[in-house]
Copies of this chain bind each other. A is one copy, B any other.
Amino acid sequence: MARWQPNASERLALAALDLFAERGYENTTVIDIAERAGLTKSTFFRHFQDKREVLFGGDTMAELLAQEIAAAPATAPPLEAVALALDAVGREAFTAARRALGARRRAVIAANPELREREALKGLRLTASMADALKRRGVPDVPSRVAAELGALTLRIAYERWSDAPDAEEFGDVARRALGEVRAASSTSLG
């Protein structure tokens, strides 16, 4: 165990990544993961609904994005509210400790159809969570959904760049730059 002491859900995710690498995803059970993390099966199921979910952090990200969009200044237009939410992702979720796991996590997901399906569903949930939070701010349906899609795309582009990058640039900065590119592309060059 590293000196950095993650909480139960991070410990479970780390244990799962280790076991998936050692034995393969199919040959690892929820009990194996809980034992490796020094926790019980019931603790596992308090955090995650099933084995797949351990790599996706439950609903934490969707809730964080919705909460930050709700907390944005009333005058912030939709994409600025999304930008503030991405800043919060950088502060609270995609920290330096998480970056070290990014490449392993992505490799496991890429190798398992079940995990790719779960990742796709999580992506839809993030997008829906952002769109709903924007609608609650009074943004109409289509602009809310467009801003949420552009926000989700920005999150994916920024995550790819950030988890691939050897340097120490923080997620929030990578995300702000990616959002600038997405915004420029959507407003001018698509025809």
Question: B-contacting residues of A (Cβ < 8 Å)?
Answer: 76-80, 116-118, 120-121, 123-124, 142-143, 145-147, 149-150, 152-153, 157, 178, 181-183, 185-191
Residues from chain B with a CB closer than 8 A to the CB of A149 are 149-150, 152-153
Note all chain B residues with C-beta closer than 8 A to A116: 121
Q: A142-B182, A143-B189, A145-B153 are in contact. List 8 more A-B contacts (CB 8 A).
A: A78-B189, A117-B120, A123-B124, A142-B178, A147-B190, A149-B153, A150-B186, A183-B190
State the CA gap A157–B157 with chains docked (Å): 24
Query: Which residues of chain B come closer than 8 Å to A145, judged between CB atoms?
Result: 153, 157
A191 in complex: contacting residue of B79, B157, B181, B188, CB < 8 Å: B79
B80/A191 in contact, CB under 8 A: yes
Interface-central residue, A124, A147, A183, by most chain B CB under 10 Å:
A124
